[in-house]
């Protein structure tokens, strides 16, 4: 079978299309024929091996695991002896390392059935970004109906999901994006939009109960200016660097949060089949619809990664495998 692999750290150019052995599922695994997969900033960290500190666990001089990608959708080929709830032919989506591959073996608790009204391309874009948005708003942000929520980077992968989920949860949504993307952000459910090229949200008069920051360009103190006294700031993205960034941001959050009344935190999505099932239900209802910026074929993975690294994608970047 064909799969995308990287044998050394570097930019998109180190991604190679290779012929590898087709995996065989264990008793607790499902063999999935992948129909679509998506890229995330998460993947860029592994590709570059940055910040360098992470190489202590993923490989000092070269990557221990050479597959790339986590989000996928596809059809079940076969199931292990102890797996229940799935049968060959089922359309599914979920998360698994090395998703840019024609076949994957996936633990049964890492995938759910795909809604009929959602394409494989859309379903393949859900796992990391949508779970991050859901958990940031619900678990870390504790968003309540009627509260004002500011979503920074509202036209990006996490942001497009966050706008829709915040609207579903009853929040009064303001989305920050560039001018050309404000119409998209409004169409997803934002009642208000801010064009960051014309207006600095930290200098506005509105105070928010919750800020979801997928970019991290402004300091913590500047973000506090537009928080209510008991507001929450949840960081899900930060500027990247070779040595410390974005870990410096995490350290700053940990220290800063001890000296202010507002809740300041930085989060990463956790694996949760229940959350995948909830997202599937919201997509089935039409409450949440994944936004696809561009689609590529598997042999164009390097080009797709370059587009991701440009920071100009509206929604998700998807790789088609069929």
Is-contact 151 190, C-beta < 8 A?
yes
pLDDT at site 280: 98
Above 70 in pLDDT, residue 153?
Answer: yes
CATH code at 88? 3.90.180.10
Residue 55: inside a domain, yes or no?
yes
Distance between terminal CA atoms of the chain? 13
Judgement on whether residues 205 and 227 belong to the same structural domain of the protein: yes
Judgement on whether residues 137 and 83 belong to the same structural domain of the protein: no
Mean pLDDT score, 61-68: 88
Residue 273: inside a domain, yes or no?
no
- Counted domains in the chain: 2
Beta-bridge partner residues of 30: 79, 106
CATH code at 188? 3.40.50.720
Helix/strand/coil for 98: coil
pLDDT above 70 as % of the chain: 94
Judgement on whether residues 109 and 188 belong to the same structural domain of the protein: no
Judgement on whether residues 120 and 187 belong to the same structural domain of the protein: no
Judgement on whether residues 109 and 151 belong to the same structural domain of the protein: no
Per the model's pLDDT, the better-predicted residue between 106 and 59 turns out to be 106
**Interval 267-283: pLDDT, tens:** 989 999 999 999 999 99
Per the listing, tokens 């930290």 go with: 202
**Interval 68-109: pLDDT, tens:** 999 999 999 999 999 999 999 999 999 999 999 999 999 999
**Interval 179-212: pLDDT, tens:** 999 999 999 999 999 999 999 999 999 999 999 9
Q: φ and ψ at 221, to 5 degrees?
A: -65, -35
**Cα–Cα distance for residue pair 165/151, rounded to 1 Å:** 11
Judgement on whether residues 112 and 161 belong to the same structural domain of the protein: no
Question: Which run of H or of E encompasses 129?
Answer: helix 127-135
Judgement on whether residues 202 and 119 belong to the same structural domain of the protein: no
- Boundary of a domain, candidates 225, 250, 266: 266
Judgement on whether residues 114 and 177 belong to the same structural domain of the protein: no
pLDDT-derived band at 260, boundaries 50, 70, 90 = confident
Above 70 in pLDDT, residue 259?
Answer: no
Judgement on whether residues 81 and 135 belong to the same structural domain of the protein: no
Judgement on whether residues 169 and 250 belong to the same structural domain of the protein: yes
Residue 290: HSE in the Cβ half-sphere, 13 Å Cα cutoff:
29
pLDDT at site 65: 86
**Cα–Cα distance for residue pair 72/74, rounded to 1 Å:** 7
Domain that holds residue 234: 129-266
Residue 283: inside a domain, yes or no?
no
Is-contact 283 118, C-beta < 8 A?
yes
pLDDT at site 250: 66
Alpha carbon dihedral 180, 36, 121, 83, in 10-degree steps, equals -130
Residue 284: inside a domain, yes or no?
no
- Out of 43-47, 98-102, 110-114, 122-126, pick the least confident: 43-47
Judgement on whether residues 138 and 253 belong to the same structural domain of the protein: yes
Mean pLDDT score, 118-134: 98
**Interval 278-303: pLDDT, tens:** 999 999 999 999 999 999 999 999 99
Judgement on whether residues 164 and 106 belong to the same structural domain of the protein: no
Residue 192: inside a domain, yes or no?
yes
């Amino acid at each position: 079978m064909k799969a995308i692999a990287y044998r050394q750290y570097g930019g998109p150019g180190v991604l190679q299309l290779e012929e590898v052995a087709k995996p065989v599922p264990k008793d607790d695994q499902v063999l999935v024929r992948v129909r679509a997969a998506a890229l995330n900033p998460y993947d860029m960290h592994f590709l570059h091996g940055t910040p360098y500190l992470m190489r202590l666990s993923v490989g000092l001089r070269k990557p221990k695991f050479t597959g790339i990608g986590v989000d996928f959708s596809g059809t079940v080929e076969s199931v292990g002896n102890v797996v229940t709830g799935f049968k060959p032919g089922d359309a599914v989506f979920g998360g698994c390392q090395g998703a840019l591959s024609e076949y994957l073996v996936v633990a049964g608790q890492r995938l759910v059935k795909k809604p009929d009204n959602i394409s494989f391309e859309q379903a393949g874009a859900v796992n990391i970004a949508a779970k991050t948005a859901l958990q940031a708003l619900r678990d870390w942000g504790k968003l309540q109906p009627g509260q004002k929520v500011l979503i920074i980077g509202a036209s990006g992968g996490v942001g497009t999901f966050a706008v829709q989920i915040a609207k579903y949860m009853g929040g009064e949504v303001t989305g920050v994006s560039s001018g050309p993307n404000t119409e998209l952000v409004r169409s997803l459910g934002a009642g208000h939009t801010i064009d960051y090229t014309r207006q600095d949200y930290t200098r506005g008069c509105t105070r928010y109960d919750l800020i979801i920051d997928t970019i991290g360009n402004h300091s913590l103190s500047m973000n506090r200016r537009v928080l209510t006294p008991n507001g929450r700031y949840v960081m899900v993205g930060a500027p990247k660097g070779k040595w410390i960034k974005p870990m410096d941001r995490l350290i700053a959050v940990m220290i800063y949060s001890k000296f202010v009344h507002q809740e300041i935190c930085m989060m990463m999505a956790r694996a949760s089949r229940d959350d995948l099932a909830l997202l599937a239900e919201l997509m089935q209802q039409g409450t949440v619809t994944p936004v696809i910026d561009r689609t590529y074929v598997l042999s164009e993975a390097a080009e797709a990664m370059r587009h991701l690294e440009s920071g100009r994608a509206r929604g998700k970047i998807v790789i088609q495998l069929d």
